[in-house]
Each structure stands twice: as structure tokens, then as C-alpha cells.
Chain A
Amino acid sequence: MNTPLSHYLILSALLFSIGFAGAVARRSAILVLIGIELMLNAANLNFIAFWRYGPQAEALTGVMFVLFSIAIAAAEAAVGLALVIAIYRQRKTAQVDCMDTLKG
């Protein structure tokens, strides 16, 4: 393994910001959720990279974390998409701009 840790970290940062950009710049709710998934993945990559390059790799801390993160991300994606579908049924639209009843 010759690539320095920083490469992975930069990659993870890049993926994170791409996911963030998509989450805040697109209108469709589903795209927002995709962006969020990307962000989660970027964080997972970060964890694995640190596990591999850090001390005590035999403790498997990073791996466990990522496993749980994946599980939770799955649950969250399911619920989120169910919400989007429910809202679509109500309002006939999945545009984030139209969901502003919490307007202060």
C-alpha cells in the first residue's frame, strides 16, 4: 500500500462535498436522499481508511463501525423513501421546494 492516507481522505472529502452539493442543489427529494447516501458512504470510506492506516488495526473498530453504519443507512433510506412516496401521494409532487409547511 503506497498511497498515503491523505489520498483516501481527500477522496472521501470530495465524495462528501459532491453528495452535499447534490443534496442542496437539486429539487427532487429522491436526489437529496441519494446525495445523503453518498455522504454516508464518504464517511464510511473515511472510517475504513483510518482503520487501515491507524494503530491497532486488529481491534476492528473501524470495520464494525462501518458495518453498523451501512445497516443504519439502509434503514434510513427505506424510511426516507417511504416518506417521499407518501408525500408524493398527497401532493402529487416530490419537489423539495413545495414542502414548506414548516415555514417560519
Chain B
Amino acid sequence: MPNDIAFYLIAAFTVAFAVVAMTLRRLVHCALCAAAAFAGLATLYLQLDAEFVGFAQLLVYVGAIAILIVFAVLLTRGDEVCPGHSQSSPSWMAGVAVAVLVLAGIAIAILLSPSLHRLAPSAAGAPVKKIGEELMTRYVLPLEMVGVLLTGALLGAVVIAMHEESEVKRPAGGPASRRAEPEEAMSLR
């Protein structure tokens, strides 16, 4: 019983914040609500006895991704200032309908499945030591790949989002324009 109530409370919390995150006008509010939804999810992981994952979720999603999103929102603020500017796409109802359809499909699948009433087996654990062991033995290759991936993503993000200076300095100068050329070559045109 108590677990049920806790589950329902946390679920409602998460869903509510998710809905709000998707519907607000101002993007910063959306980002923060999304962070709250991520936090709610972390709580759910904790409830499911996956402590490490819960904390990792908090660290990464709430601590990094949400902040990143806020940064991005702040850097792209130009077009949401003007009023009368609808935030939703003109055919948002079609999109919502498709989403409802997706929900319906998945829900029907779940409800028809035999997993409906399965209860949890007794305590399982995910000790960090075990996770560490698994990472170093069985999942060592994916670990290294993820490392490479993260490195590549880092570099890529930096390159893509680098600020070009040639846009600012128009007249052809000496050293500044020559320095701008390699950056131009790397910029997105």
C-alpha cells in the first residue's frame, strides 16, 4: 500500500511536470519543468532499487542536460520575444492525435500482455561494486565505445557551435581575416 501511494504520487508528479514542460509558452519554464520531470524519474528509479541509475540520472539529466537546455534556450532567445507569435505548429492537433494513437497502441499492447499483474520478485540489488565489475569485464568494449562517442560528441558540439568571428569583422583585415578563414571552412554554411 505505501509503495503504491508513493508510486502514484511520484507518477502524477512526473507526468504533470512532463505535460507542463511540453505546453508552456516560455522556453525557460519548459526547460525547468523538464528538469523536474527528470527528477521525478530519478525517484522512480530509486523506488525500483536501481540506486546508481537514479543518482546517475540526477547527475546527468538534471545536473547537465537540463542546464544545457537552459543555456541553449538563453542563447536562442531572439525569436520568442515578439508577441502574437504562436509557439505551437499550426497543425499541432494532428501531431497530438498521432501521439494519442501511439499511446493507444502501446497501452493496448500492455493491457493485452500477460505482464499485467506480475508482481515483483524479492529483493534484487544493483550494488555499485557489481556494476563496476560488469563494466570492466563484460561491458568493457561498450564502455570504451561510449568514451569515444562522448569524446566525439564533445568535439563535434564544440566545432558546430563555435562562434565565427568573420561575421563580426566585415572589412577585409590582415591577420584577423586570415585567422577567420580556417574557422569559416569549419562553419556551417
Which residues in A have some Cβ–Cβ distance to B below 8 Å? 1-11, 13-22, 24-28, 30-31, 33-35, 37-38, 41, 44-45, 48-49, 51-53, 55, 57-58, 60, 62-64, 66-68, 70-79, 81-90, 92-97
Q: Which residue of B lies closest to A93 (CB)?
A: B79
1/0 contact trace for B73-114 toward A, CB 8 Å?
A: 101101110000011110011011011101100110011010
**Which of A76, A79, A93, A96 lies at the interface centre, i.e. has the most chain B CB atoms within 10 A of its CB?**
A79
Any A CB within 8 A of the CB of B146 = yes
State the majority secondary structure of interface residues on B. Answer: helix
Tell whether, in the assembled complex, residue B110 and residue A9 are in contact, meaning their CB atoms are under 8 Å apart.
Answer: yes
A41 to B43: give the CA distance in the assembly, Å: 13
Q: Would A48 and B160 be within 8 Å (CB), given that A15-B18, A78-B68, A95-B79 are in contact?
A: no
Tell whether, in the assembled complex, residue B76 and residue A24 are in contact, meaning their CB atoms are under 8 Å apart.
Answer: no
With a cutoff of 8 Å between Cβ atoms, the chain B residues found around residue A93 in the complex are 78-79
Tell whether, in the assembled complex, residue A14 and residue B57 are in contact, meaning their CB atoms are under 8 Å apart.
Answer: no
A30 to B118: give the CA distance in the assembly, Å: 38
With a cutoff of 8 Å between Cβ atoms, the chain B residues found around residue A48 in the complex are 44-45, 48, 50, 53
Tell whether, in the assembled complex, residue B157 and residue A49 are in contact, meaning their CB atoms are under 8 Å apart.
Answer: no
The minimal Cβ–Cβ distance linking B12 to chain A, given in whole angstroms, is: 10
Q: Which listed residue, A24, A28, A38, A62, touches B34 by the CB 8 Å rule?
A: A38
